[in-house]
Amino acid sequence: MHEVSIMEQTLEIALNHAKQQQATQIHRIKMKVGTLSGVIPEALEFAFDVVTKGTIAETARFEIESIPVRCYCHHCNVEFQPDDFIDECPHCHQYSLDIRQGKELELTSLEVS
């Protein structure tokens, strides 16, 4: 379960930012997680509960924004959301290797006091 190590690193970043702001409490942590990131959101939520114990983020809300896959077809010059794991353009039925979003895994906001 690599989600625990991902959450440990994310929490470390959040704690460092909180320390820079001289905060004593982290109230909310938000992340973007792409559907192709290789991360299971439920496992990330579980990891959050585990790694925040005993920290200033222990009572924080954890929010995940799920980012769907978006591909670009160079034949049609159109961006599209594939129906399944095969990135086939719905217009020309050519396969696209140009994935524009869906691989994100990032800390997007932090609420502290």
Length of the chain: 113
Rounded Cα distance between 55 and 72, Å, is: 42
For the segment 46-63, the average pLDDT, to the nearest whole number, is 97
From residue 71, how far is each of 58, 68, 79 by CA, in Å? 38, 10, 6
Dump pLDDT digits (tens) for 55-98: 999 999 999 999 999 999 999 999 999 987 778 899 999 998 89
Q: What percent of the chain has pLDDT over 70?
A: 99
The yes-or-no verdict on residue 16 having pLDDT over 90 is yes
- What is the 3-state secondary structure of 19-51? HHCCCCCEEEEEEEEECCCCCCHHHHHHHHHHH
The yes-or-no verdict on residue 29 having pLDDT over 70 is yes
- Predicted confidence at residue 97, as pLDDT, reads 87
